[in-house]
Amino acid sequence: MHNAKLLPHYLVQRFHGWKATTYSENESWYRRLADNGQNPRAMVVSCCDSRVHVTSIFGADNGEFFLHRNIANLVPPYKPDGAQHGTSAAVEYAVKALKVAHIIVLGHSSCGGVEGCLNMCTGRAPELEEKTSFVGRWMDILRPGYENIKDMPEAEQPAALEKEAVLVSLNNLMTFPFVADDVKSGKITLHGLWHDIGEGAIEQYSPEDNGFKPV
């Protein structure tokens, strides 16, 4: 016996609502999706944050995005050490098996993971420095980004570090040989976005400006 319980009633009700409306009105489309397999054009790496609604922002349907979410939308550096790397596995599958044309890294405002990294880097979160902190060790990926923003006014640092999380991830994507090869041959393009939740806005990294500009 496994340690799990039945779903709470409100979720069961919502599921049956979806089945009776969205699914039943589009049943043949769902069956086609199931039969044909997935063929998404883009992989999106976003934060786990419940307010970041990737498919809603882009009006995306089932099958359009290969979506990977983790704390602070980070891609770690390429490290083929035989350990278990969830994000790297998702990148490998998207590129090698699904042959996506785009990889989009989507950061966001008031990111708790980035705030934790900022607190850790400024000595305000000793618990995150401990070896046993999964969040802390994961946020180590963003430490090089902190070096770029540490001299900014304090009020600007959270948003700046959220954007650094996107840039660090874009840099780390290029350390994967199969990503770098496909970027160089033009098979894949990388994109960096930052989503302001309250404003409903998106900024994108512009290589000409070497900074983020409103979409």
Nearer to Zn ion, 45 or 100 (CB): 45
Determine the interface stretch with Zn ion among 18-26, 31-39, 85-93, 109-117 (rule: CB under 5 A).
109-117
Min dist CB 200 to Zn ion, Å, is: 17
Determine the interface stretch with Zn ion among 16-24, 103-111, 144-152, 206-214 (rule: CB under 5 A).
103-111
Nearer to Zn ion, 194 or 205 (CB): 194
Tell me: does residue 47 bind Zn ion (CB under 5 A). yes
Determine the interface stretch with Zn ion among 36-44, 108-116, 168-176, 207-215 (rule: CB under 5 A).
108-116
Nearer to Zn ion, 90 or 188 (CB): 90
Question: Three-state DSSP class for 197?
Answer: coil
Pairing of strands 211-214, 201-206: antiparallel
b/e per residue 24-40 (b: at least 16 CB within 10 A)? eeeeeeeeeeeeeeeeb
Question: How many residues make contact with Zn ion (CB under 5 A)?
Answer: 4
**Tell me, what DSSP letter sits at residue 61?**
P
Min dist CB 142 to Zn ion, Å, is: 11
**In contact, 104 and 75? CB cutoff 8 Å:** no
**In contact, 20 and 45? CB cutoff 8 Å:** no
**In contact, 88 and 76? CB cutoff 8 Å:** yes
**Interface with Zn ion in residues 150-209 (CB under 5 A):** none
Q: How far apart are CA 164 and CA 148, in angstroms?
A: 8
Nearer to Zn ion, 71 or 173 (CB): 71
Nearer to Zn ion, 190 or 197 (CB): 197
| Residue of 90, 94, 111, 193 interacting with Zn ion (CB under 5 A) | 111
Q: Can you point out the beta strands (E) in the chain?
A: 42-47, 65-70, 102-108, 189-196, 201-206, 211-214
Binding site for Zn ion (CB under 5 A): 47, 49, 111, 113
